Structure 1
């Protein structure tokens, strides 16, 4: 026995389908605005020097300990693991949106058994049913496809956000590493200064006993020594804090964590590949993230607009029924469902207004990110040029202090300079070495800031290199 609904869908549904297919063009996505005019060149002077040939820029500094720290961060950093988990969430959301565009298939079944007795006669009845159902929503107005495009854009935004997280993480680790290297140098120089001050203080005390110096002279020497001892403790505390911060960034326990950075003298000065300001739009992950978020907002507006139109769903059902008394029946049905909300109290209008306002917010945020990126790039380039000039001046001053110290040594050997005069020349030399160490740190930190401002070395996305 067959029971089949009319094979033709009602005329109203067919007519509506024809109207819909001709009217879908009015629901196109809102065009993503491009940022304001981006300058062709930078105002700051572009630095000169060897450039990095890979998106993984930090090995070019020639610091194996830094490479070890960043490799550890790739595997253990909580920030990086959380960013990758957010990508997995966005990917799962995209899969859910894509699934809504496919038919759903269901299986149903039932079994029943009954026993009866009448006039001394026993009777029984057994039946079995198995059915298959298919449901499918026709995406006539593009609502489902718009939701899928929004999910795709959110996945792209999550991927760019992860790249931004890694860029911040690797530059923070590199910056802290170089800071620790500089602190170790400054600690060593301060210890040398303290040795000289203690010697000067002892000799001033001897001269006071001989009547060649006053108590004021001795007190001044003591004050210098105590000031340097306090500075030494501050440097050691700062080095401790930087070390524990590095431990957290790489995903290690702070207790017992240690880093042995090499001297900044052994650090290279690699530069990122040169680029024009407009290239920031594809280089900087925060710009890609903002643009993807805006694309998702465009798709959400399209989905909200499509919600004003009717939805059409098709369903099919087939059931096989067997009865123990004999015979098998097949029942098949096909149905179309058309629904349209006539009054919802303004809920859809509110949703559309909210999505449009959200898009306008993201447009403003995108433009702000572009302007901020241009500012940071300009500042970073100017910072590199300035730090290189200061480092050169500091190196020249250090060389002059070394020359003065060598001359003081020669005069002391000839008896033309007393021991305290030689100690003072050595103190001046150590002070110049300290200033030079600070200048070299500023130069390296400026390079790290440049990599961050330009979005990496420029050979690919930072997240891709992090694996």
Structure 2
């Protein structure tokens, strides 16, 4: 009789499991629809946007992107300076902020696995001894001490009829994908930040060179005017004016030396270790020769190029899935618990015939009164989704603005630098003529000092314009989604892959579907990112069947 009852219970359990597998595919999640992009269909055109550089531009020196999109251009192809390439490589391996981003991905993956595990039954082995004493006047046959030994298996399973656990799993998956995309955005931003800081350091080097040359010229002028004053053929006014230029140049030199040290400290912080001594020699600022003609494409392409936009959409998907979990909380929870093992009053009798024991306890819990908590949770989930919609739209608007600003700057810097180069040339000639006129007694020394100061300022303007042009190209490369691959033609790594380019990037998203696949099976993260027509594969919109 015991065997028949056990068999009957097993049949019921199998039927319940089959029903659960069918029902688990349904959720209360709203059907996901990607919000329309709140920007125009094209980037601004005409005016400052019309004069974009191409392969024939003077500043490009024949280097061209060949109309390849930024995400397909490796950062080693974008940067021509071997020293900068080496520094970027070191930063990708040692930067602490990037390490934190990678660890955040691992934490989110673990959280996803924890949430996914709730879809499956739990099975525990247990062994216990229960020893009790009963008062003599309440005991039978004067047996005041009793022992119970047990060994067995305990199982429990919440059957996800209404998709609550599946919605929580979808939410955890979307949060994991969002964290992975944020990590990708952090790596791309690091490449850009390292390049910007490196270029800033080169610009200060150029400013130091100009200031030292200016100081050298000013010292020589001061020496000559002092000699002339001592011989009675010059005025003290000329001496003091020359002395003022010398001291100003010395002060500027100290300022720029301080900025140079601070710029290097900033670069060391980004790299995550002191700069090694065996770095390749650096290219001067005016010969960096970055790729300057990367096509902008269309604003809609930013949705797939920009990992920060992908991260914002995954956060939106997580909020959408959370609504399904909040809705499912209004419906009953069905759980199965059971145990099978042996019981015996003696340790030696645990495995003797007739000691088998089992229990089966299905349970249904239906919320009746929760003090409004379930309603409030649903309201909160819906508000959070609206917040994430606004964040997603803001991410698109911010990306559009960054690219548009970059295009406006790229369309003006080449002509600005050409004009400043001519300006520096004219001020240099002006200084030569002013000095000649002064030496011939035609003009005062004030004209020489003014020309010298104007040349110094013009040289500074030219260096700053060159720096701004280069940082604009670097930032535009980042804004268009470039900086994730090392070489053009490389297979893009998954967003959660390690930085070590020499290692095989492991796929790291655990796949656990209704088919009962192992939770240890891993799938590349990009395979789980929703595209526009397939967005509802992650956030299902079907009501329970």
TM-score interval for Structure 1 and Structure 2 normalised by the shorter chain: 0.7 to 0.9
**C-alpha separation between the residues in 1 aligned to 2:25 and 2:113?**
25
Distance 2:24 2:171 in 1: 22
Counterpart of 1:243 in structure 2 is 264
Tell me how far 1:426 sits from its aligned partner.
7.8
Superposed, 1:96-111 pairs within 5 Å as 96-110=114-128
Q: Give the corresponding residue for 1:117.
A: none
Q: 1:393 aligns with which of 419, 427, 436?
A: 419
Partner of 1:312, secondary structure, is strand
Counterpart residue number, 2:401: 375
Q: Which residue does the alignment assign to 1:284?
A: 306
Cα 1:104–1:458 shift into 2, 3 Å? closer
Deviation of 1:63 (Å): 1.5
Taking a change above 3 Å as real, the CA distance of residues 97 and 112 of structure 1, as seen in their structure-2 partners, is closer
| Residue 298 in structure 1 maps to residue 320 in structure 2 | yes
Q: SS of the residue aligned with 1:344?
A: coil
Q: Does 1:188 align with 2:188?
A: no
- Do 1:160 and 1:285's aligned partners in 2 also have CA atoms closer than 8 Å? yes
The aligned counterpart of 2:81 is: 63
Larger helix proportion of the pair: 1
- Once structures 1 and 2 are overlaid, which stretch shifts more, 96-105 or 367-376? 367-376
77, 94, 118: which one aligns with 2:112: 94
With 204-213 and 85-94 compared, the bigger mean Cα shift is at: 204-213
Please tell me whether the aligned partners of residues 5 and 334 of structure 1 are also in contact (alpha carbons under 8 angstroms).
no
Q: Match for 1:442 among 449, 468, 476?
A: 468
- Residue 264 of structure 1, CA deviation: 1.0
1:360 aligned residue (386, 391, 398)? 386
CA pair 55-156 structure 1, distance change in 2 beyond 3 A: farther
Q: Distance in 2 between matches of 1:37 and 1:422?
A: 57
Task: Give the 3 Å change call, closer, same or farther, for CA 373–440 of structure 1 in structure 2.
Answer: same
Greater Cα offset, 80-89 or 312-321: 312-321
Q: CA deviation at 1:436?
A: 2.8
CA separation of 1:26 and 1:258: change in aligned 2, threshold 3 A: closer
Contact 2:175 2:314 (8 Å CA) reproduced: yes
Q: What is the TM-score when the length of structure 2 is the normalising length?
A: 0.72
Choose from 50, 53, 60 the match for 1:47: 53
Distance 2:483 2:280 in 1: 25
Q: What secondary structure sits across from 1:192 in the alignment?
A: helix
8 A contact 1:110–1:130 mirrored in 2: yes
| RMSD (CA atoms) | 4.0
Relative to structure 1, the CA distance from residue 113 to residue 256 in structure 2 (aligned partners, 3 Å threshold; closer, same or farther) is same
User: Does 2:353 align with 1:339?
Assistant: no
Pick aligned residue for 2:188 from 146, 164, 167 = 167
- Residue of 200, 212, 219 corresponding to 1:179: 200
Shift of 1:58: 5.0
Residues 211-222 of structure 1 aligned to structure 2 (within 5 Å): 211-222=232-243
Supply the distance in 2 between the matched residues of 1:462 and 1:376 (Cα, whole angstroms): 25
- Shift of residue 283, structure 1, vs aligned partner: 1.2
Tell me by how many angstroms 1:130 deviates.
2.4
Question: Where does structure 1 lack aligned partners over 5 or more consecutive residues?
Answer: 115-123
Aligned residue pair count: 451
Verify: 1:268 aligned to 2:275, yes or no. no
Shift of 1:39: 2.6
- CA offsets, 1:286-326, max 9 Å, x none? 11111111100001111011011000012232123466576
Range that drifts further, 387-396 or 277-286: 387-396
CA 1:112–1:198 in 2, change beyond 3 Å: closer, same or farther? closer
2: CA distance, partners of 1:209 / 1:2: 125
TM-superposed CA distance for 1:225, in Å, is 1.3
**Match 1:329 to one of 355, 359, 384:** 355
